[in-house]
Amino acid sequence: MRSRQRMFAAVMRLLLKCLRLGRRRRFRLVRQVEQLWHYGHLCLRSLLYNSFTNGDVVLDSLFEPVYWLVDHVTRWFGVVFVALVIGLTSSIVAIVYICLLPLILQTYTPGWICWHLAYGHWNLIMIVFHYYMAITTSPGHPPQAKNDLTGVSICRKCIAPKPARTHHCSICNRCVLKMDHHCPWLNNCVGHYNHRYFFSFCLFMTMGCIYCSISGWEMFRDAYAAIERMKLLEKERLQVAANQTYYQTPPPTFSFRQRAFHKSVVYLWVLCSSVALALGALTLWHAALITRGETSIERHINRKERQRLQKKGKVFRNPYSYGSWDNWKVFLGVDVPRHWLTRVLLPSPHLPHGTGLSWDLPPCVTEQRAPLLAI
């Protein structure tokens, strides 16, 4: 009897010891999990904490993978976009020469023929010249010799001095002088040395598309009506063939040349009108920026700076703006009146004012304005 009691007591003591050990292990595991949680939370806060962090910084961090993907896709597809521009432009020129030019020579008066030949070829030459110069001209980069370069800041990517109005292009992976943006349709950055070529290409391409849309409006209406007539006659011909009524004469069929002519005219008008709307809006946007003496990047910088100074009761003035008219003269490189003909209305490879490293007052500026704040 006593031996059984002793055995039962020993078993109970063993069970209690096991329960106590299990409870200690469970408490120890919970404490370890809590310690790991607090440690991870502290590490996360230490990595993310910044007194300048706001909603914009958080959004930029969340969209960083998207930016990386866009940069790499744009870098690899730049050649495809350039080929697309050349292909679409060549197709429009081919349609004009093959389809529209013979019709113009047969139906228009000599005065209108001279006008179309002169204006059309001048516009085409300006488009081809400025597009070629925009894609082949380097936008300008800071020199590699850092000792001779005076920078206003340090580029975080290049770890090198960065002159005023210079920004780093994540697609080209280089700093660009007076960077406006990276254009995938040029496969090149738009900067100090090719900004004029880019804007001139947009302007003359828009003018050419508007010219083709207005000139080809009547032809487009006739071609569209002819295509609808083709569809109707084709439907009637199929109905006649299905009914097998031999006493009826089948409707006439259009030749391949006629179909190709009408569809080419419709294609030309739709493409030119679409490009005129899209590229025209972009051209107006850049014209407004040039009038204010800004680039696309500087617009965002100046807007934030203007809002910050406005809260303090101060006024912001762009130090690189010399007035609307002088901004255009500086941008186009017009020093004397004859330059409006030789440098604006005719192809000209002249260089812009300055080197892009420093921004002294250009000689064509008639009035110097003291800036209130430098960027």
Domain layout of the chain by residue ranges: 59-362
Q: Is it the case that residue 375 has pLDDT exceeding 50?
A: no
Q: Global pTM?
A: 0.77
Look at residues 33, 350, 71, 42 and name the one whose alpha carbon lies nearest to residue 193. Answer: 350
Q: Are 251 and 236 in contact (CB under 8 A)?
A: yes
CA distance 5 to 1: 6
CA distance 265 to 259: 10
Q: Are 375 and 294 in contact (CB under 8 A)?
A: no
Write out the DSSP string of 47-94.
Answer: HH--TT--HHHHHHHHTHHHHHHHHHHHHHHHHHHHHHHHHHHHHHHH
- What tokens were used for 178? 């007076």
Residue with tokens 């002793």: 6
DSSP-derived 3-state class of residue 161: strand
For the question of residue 183 being annotated catalytic, the response is yes
Q: Is it the case that residue 365 has pLDDT exceeding 70?
A: yes
84-93, 120-129, 233-242: range with lowest mean pLDDT: 233-242
DSSP-derived 3-state class of residue 17: helix
Q: What share of the chain is helix, strand, coil (3-state, %, to 5)?
A: 65, 5, 30
CA distance 42 to 31: 16
Q: Are 135 and 187 in contact (CB under 8 A)?
A: yes
Q: How confident is the prediction for the chain on average, in pLDDT?
A: 82
**At CB < 8 A and 24+ separation, what contacts does 173-176 make?**
174/141, 175/141, 175/142, 176/139, 176/140, 176/141
Please enumerate in sequence order all residues whose Cβ is within 8 A of that of 324, keeping only pairs 6 or more positions apart, or say none: 291, 292
- In DSSP terms, which residues pair with 175 in a beta bridge? 168
Look at residues 171, 187, 169, 189 and name the one whose alpha carbon lies nearest to residue 84. Answer: 187
Which member of 183, 209, 212, 272 is catalytic?
A: 183
Higher pLDDT, 179 or 62: 179
Residue-wise pLDDT for 250-300, tens only, equals 555 667 788 888 899 999 999 999 999 999 999 999 999 999 999 999 998
140-144, 204-208, 233-237, 260-264: range with lowest mean pLDDT: 233-237
14-23, 111-120, 231-240, 327-336: range with lowest mean pLDDT: 14-23
Q: Is it the case that residue 371 has pLDDT exceeding 50?
A: no
Confidence of residue 209 (pLDDT cuts 50, 70, 90): very high
Higher pLDDT, 361 or 200: 200
Confidence of residue 373 (pLDDT cuts 50, 70, 90): very low
CA distance 242 to 40: 78
48-52, 156-160, 367-371: range with lowest mean pLDDT: 367-371
Q: Are strands 188-190 and 161-162 parallel, antiparallel or unpaired?
A: unpaired
Q: Is it the case that residue 41 has pLDDT exceeding 80?
A: no
Q: Is it the case that residue 51 has pLDDT exceeding 70?
A: no
CA distance 106 to 116: 13
Residue-wise pLDDT for 86-96, tens only, equals 999 999 999 99
Q: Is it the case that residue 63 has pLDDT exceeding 70?
A: no
Q: Are 301 and 320 in contact (CB under 8 A)?
A: no
Residue-wise pLDDT for 139-162, tens only, equals 999 887 655 566 567 888 887 888
Specify the pLDDT at position 372. Answer: 41
